[in-house]
Amino acid sequence: MSEKIYGQFDLETIEKLADIVNDKELSEITLSDGDKTITVKGKKFIPVPPMGQMMPNMAPPVGMPAPAAAPAAPAANSTSGKQVKAPIVGTFYSAPSPESKPFVSVGDKVKKGDVIFIIESMKVMSEVTSEFDGTVKEICVNNGDAVEFDQTVMILD
């Protein structure tokens, strides 16, 4: 006699359903028998970690050229101001599309929460917003440049 779970389905059936969900990488599977129903859910797949949870030692996505050696930093960080850093590894874009004007240019005033650039990583475009109010003093990378995690992209006054 097989063991029943809550008087509905036997353990062997549940284990087979779980195996199917895992083997086929399904999000869930439901089995009904009259008034009896069971749903087995699999693991959720999150293709891109949420912003701020990327690991700094991640390799660039496949197909992305390895970034060139970083240019020498100015002596003792002579550029003062609030640094806006890349939250993920990817490609820097100053505008939403090639035909559009840049989100910001040197001399523009920005407010906390304004979109100031995009980083593309693994075919996903991530808008980056300003953490500060200020004026764009310097844009440290060029449109289309590869950026590293925590690399200074922009400086605000």
Query: pLDDT tens for residues 15-51?
Result: 777 777 777 777 777 777 777 777 777 765 444 445 4
Higher pLDDT, 70 or 146: 146
Question: Do residues 119 and 128 lie in contact, with contact meaning Cβ atoms separated by under 8 Å?
Answer: yes
* Domains along the chain with CATH numbers: 4-41 (no CATH), 78-156 (2.40.50.100)
Q: What is the pTM of this model?
A: 0.51
Which amino acid appears at position 132 of this protein? F
| Reported confidence tier of residue 139, pLDDT bands at 50, 70, 90 | very high
Using alpha carbons, select from 115, 110, 105 the residue that is nearest to residue 139: 105
Residue 142 pLDDT: 95
Using alpha carbons, select from 119, 103, 101 the residue that is nearest to residue 111: 103
Using alpha carbons, select from 93, 151, 80, 141 the residue that is nearest to residue 121: 93
- By CB neighbour count within 10 A (0-12 exposed, 13-18 middle, 19+ buried), where does 92 fall? buried
